[in-house]
A and B are shown apart, each in its own frame.
Chain A
Amino acid sequence: MPIVPKIMKQGRLAPFYYLAPALLIMFIFIVYPTFNTLVLSFTNKSGTASAATVCVAGQPCWGVFDDYRYAFTSPEMLIALRNNALWLILMVPATVAIGLIFALLADRVRYESLAKSIIFMPMAISFIGAGVIWRFVYYVNTSGGAQIGLLDAILVKLGFQPVAWLSDPRINNFALMIVGLWLWAGFCMTILSAAVKGLPSEVLEAARVDGAGEWQVFWTIMLPMILPTIIVVTTTLVINILKIFDIVFVMTNGNFGTEVIANRMFQLIVTDVGKSSAIAVVLILLTIPVMIFNVRRFRAEEAAR
């Protein structure tokens, strides 16, 4: 038996000593608040009694789950859920697609770093700041003076009527999504660009030598090879868009049919702890499948190495 100095022998508990600080911090800042939010989601507006106590005879009530009745059936939450779905269905794919297009196009020009810097720059702006900037872009002047909002100034110059971008319920959600796209496209581009650059040039050259067109190279070789990266980017976006808040809060505060889940949660946090917590729990539940998917895929990738 080799001689091991006593100091290097570690008991079975040793790993836990090393983990303890991290576990403690995790418990204080993640486990406990999550658990507490869950408990609060079953209480009344001040968090002092069961949610069942606010029920009024003769009106619909889900007992202790009454805050969840609000989260799933109230008109404003239905609009919020619809809008979050719209953001996920429209804004996420559009942003990933545009990020990918930028990554591929920038790969082929001499001033690549300049082009990429410009597209990435919005990412350096805080979301609140971006909201304020875009409010000016979308600003509509309804009194006598000239249009000072960029978009309406252009429209009026071209002979069209000015548009109320943020208060017209037919277009305002899309107007907000464009702000999100502007902010996130740079992030998608940067990561996807790295993936494109990491593609082995031999494979691409071999395909081209064999007579594949650029279109064919993209669809049959590049896309499958960068698919894992696309999935990473998409899941990151999905999580961030589920909790989208800043843009909506600054630009419309959820008015005119632009409400989203996180803004509802924020609006209620002071006035109704129970409902706000229930919305937070719904948000956590919506995020969990994406998390599980992410972890599974990560493990599968590790195993494949």
Chain B
Amino acid sequence: MGVASGTEISVIYQWTGNEEAMFNTIMAPFVDACGVKINANSTRDAAVLDTAVKSTPPDILFWPSTSPLQLYADKLLDLTSLGVDASNYADYWQKLGTVNGKLLALPAKTDIKTLIWYSPVQFQANGYQIPTTLNDLETLADTMVSNGQVPWSMGLASTGSDGWPGSDFIQNLLLAMQGPDYVLGLLDGSIPYNDPGVLAAYQLYVKWASDSQYTVGGATGTVNTNFADALLQPFSDPPESMMVDQAGFAAGNIVAAYPNLKYGTDYAFFGFSGAKGVQGSYDLMFAFSDTPVVKAMLAYITGPVGAANWAETGFSIDPNKLAQGHFTDPVIADMAKVLETAQGFTPDLGDTLGGTFQAAEWKAIVDSVQGADIQTELNTAEAAQMATLGK
């Protein structure tokens, strides 16, 4: 591709330690074949990035938010003009990275948390089917209750950030009841957080989370149980509950607590029933220069060899369609399948809108579970949402 051996390419990303090592493993074939050198700068500091972009921008940037799209729109280069085939990425990814008709960002990797963890052994013993719609999920929960089982574990406690597990659950309910565009509307403020749609999601959540028939310990259990304890409850012997809504990291916690359990038989997950999109996080890639080496690196990552390497290395989920079928880690492979069927991707509402709204959101959840008037709580959170967005 006309890349001179010994060429250097500067990269900024947030990865450190194991993540950085996995990235280097993925890039190794490219580095060896072209004889290039990756000069990486690992930082989580947006100010460091800003200084760099304004003086000597990196050739390629990996960043876990869309903020560079607004901040550096005039400096970023159209990835299609650099030879990237965007058709390997779902439409919603292309939409996410497009500004004024130019594709400025594509996802390098993503983690998703629109998942419900359960015990396949228990489901089989009771004859339960994996629910594919929200109605099925509600019916299944009711069936479990009538069988004398507790469907959910919903611990909200987390020192300094009580409530976040509930915000994930509610966002999943919103994705099932309303869809990803609705959640994106909440993010940009075109839909207020005290909208009837949000209220309906809270009502279903609170119905489950505050009743000891539906969740371990009822409201008291929900607000007092640490999320890390709650996610183990379906897998204790005998199980204390049947299901728990939690992100991908739950697998690590379950294995650590119960080393003898096998993924796929003793513990597994399914995509949140009826969710029309997924929620999670992503690292987007951006390009600031159009040198041959940048084109070569982007072609490698977005092309078949790089995508397969990314998937085989198991560095989260590579949303590139070319990565499909190459995932070797069974947990990541199953998560990738959940992502494949998703019609949209939404980042975490609270994480994206930030502190003031997030605190109000968590408080609304904790208070609602404890019996506060949901509409009043949502009105307070809506004020924080609009204040954050400057509306």
Which A residues form the contact surface with B (CB < 8 A)?
Answer: 45, 54, 75-76, 140, 142-144, 164, 166-169, 249-250, 253, 255-256, 267-268, 270-272
Does A169 contact B370, Cβ atoms closer than 8 Å?
A: yes
- In Å, the complex CA distance between A109 and B60 comes to 76
Contacts of B220 in A (CB 8 A): 140, 142, 164, 167-168
- In Å, the complex CA distance between A250 and B225 comes to 15
The 8 Å CB contact of A255, one of B216, B366, B387, is: B366
Additional A-B contact list (17), CB under 8 Å, known A164-B220, A253-B159, A272-B355: A45-B356, A45-B387, A75-B380, A142-B216, A142-B221, A143-B233, A164-B224, A166-B224, A167-B220, A167-B370, A253-B160, A255-B162, A255-B366, A267-B359, A268-B356, A270-B355, A271-B354
Task: Pick from B162, B224, B233, B359 the residue with the most CB of A within 10 Å.
Answer: B224
- In Å, the complex CA distance between A249 and B223 comes to 16
Nearest Cβ distance between residue A79 and chain B, in whole angstroms? Answer: 11
Chain A: which residue is nearest B223 at the CB level? A167
Contacts of B355 in A (CB 8 A): 270-272
Does B223 contact A143, Cβ atoms closer than 8 Å?
A: no
- In Å, the complex CA distance between A250 and B157 comes to 12
Contacts of A270 in B (CB 8 A): 355
Is B363 in contact with chain A by the CB < 8 A criterion? yes
- In Å, the complex CA distance between A169 and B371 comes to 11
Count of B interface residues, CB-CB < 8 Å: 24
Does B225 contact A143, Cβ atoms closer than 8 Å?
A: yes
- Ranked 5 nearest A-B pairs via Cβ: A142-B217, A271-B355, A142-B221, A164-B220, A271-B356
Chain B: which residue is nearest A144 at the CB level? B240
Is B120 in contact with chain A by the CB < 8 A criterion? no
Task: Pick from B161, B220, B240, B366 the residue with the most CB of A within 10 Å.
Answer: B220
Chain B: which residue is nearest A252 at the CB level? B162
Nearest Cβ distance between residue A135 and chain B, in whole angstroms? Answer: 9
- In Å, the complex CA distance between A75 and B364 comes to 13
Q: Please count the residue pairs between chain A and chain B whose beta carbons lie under 8 angstroms apart in the complex.
A: 54
- In Å, the complex CA distance between A140 and B225 comes to 8
Is B218 in contact with chain A by the CB < 8 A criterion? yes
Nearest Cβ distance between residue A64 and chain B, in whole angstroms? Answer: 17
Given contacts A256-B370, A271-B354, contact A142 B224 (CB under 8 A): yes
- In Å, the complex CA distance between A76 and B362 comes to 14
- In Å, the complex CA distance between A167 and B221 comes to 10
Nearest Cβ distance between residue B6 and chain A, in whole angstroms? Answer: 44
Contacts of A166 in B (CB 8 A): 224
Contacts of B162 in A (CB 8 A): 253, 255
Using a CB-CB cutoff of 8 Å, which residues 183-226 of chain B contact chain A?
216-218, 220-221, 223-225
- In Å, the complex CA distance between A249 and B159 comes to 9
Does A272 contact B356, Cβ atoms closer than 8 Å?
A: yes
- In Å, the complex CA distance between A167 and B157 comes to 11
- In Å, the complex CA distance between A140 and B233 comes to 16
Does B216 contact A143, Cβ atoms closer than 8 Å?
A: yes
- In Å, the complex CA distance between A54 and B356 comes to 15
Interface string of B214-249 (1 = CB under 8 A from A): 001110110111000000010000001000000000
Does B217 contact A143, Cβ atoms closer than 8 Å?
A: yes
Contacts of B224 in A (CB 8 A): 140, 142, 164, 166-167
The 8 Å CB contact of B363, one of A168, A169, A255, is: A255
- In Å, the complex CA distance between A76 and B159 comes to 19
- In Å, the complex CA distance between A194 and B238 comes to 58
- In Å, the complex CA distance between A143 and B159 comes to 20
Instruction: Provide a sorted-by-A list of 29 A–B residue pairs whose CB atoms are within 8 angstroms.
Output: A75-B380, A76-B363, A140-B224, A142-B216, A142-B218, A142-B220, A143-B216, A143-B221, A143-B225, A143-B233, A143-B240, A164-B223, A167-B223, A167-B224, A167-B370, A168-B220, A169-B370, A249-B160, A250-B159, A253-B162, A255-B163, A255-B363, A256-B366, A256-B370, A267-B359, A268-B356, A270-B355, A271-B356, A272-B356
Does B366 contact A142, Cβ atoms closer than 8 Å?
A: no
- In Å, the complex CA distance between A75 and B355 comes to 18
Contacts of A168 in B (CB 8 A): 220
Chain A: which residue is nearest B356 at the CB level? A271
- In Å, the complex CA distance between A140 and B229 comes to 13
Nearest Cβ distance between residue B228 and chain A, in whole angstroms? Answer: 13
Contacts of B354 in A (CB 8 A): 271
- In Å, the complex CA distance between A268 and B370 comes to 24
Chain A: which residue is nearest B150 at the CB level? A143
- In Å, the complex CA distance between A253 and B217 comes to 21
- In Å, the complex CA distance between A54 and B217 comes to 43
Nearest Cβ distance between residue A269 and chain B, in whole angstroms? Answer: 10
- In Å, the complex CA distance between A272 and B161 comes to 17
Contacts of A255 in B (CB 8 A): 162-163, 223, 363, 366
- In Å, the complex CA distance between A250 and B363 comes to 16
- In Å, the complex CA distance between A169 and B159 comes to 18
Nearest Cβ distance between residue A70 and chain B, in whole angstroms? Answer: 10
Contacts of A167 in B (CB 8 A): 220, 223-224, 370
- In Å, the complex CA distance between A267 and B162 comes to 13
Contacts of B387 in A (CB 8 A): 45, 54
Chain B: which residue is nearest A271 at the CB level? B355
Interface string of B347-359 (1 = CB under 8 A from A): 0000000111001
- In Å, the complex CA distance between A270 and B220 comes to 30
- In Å, the complex CA distance between A240 and B359 comes to 26
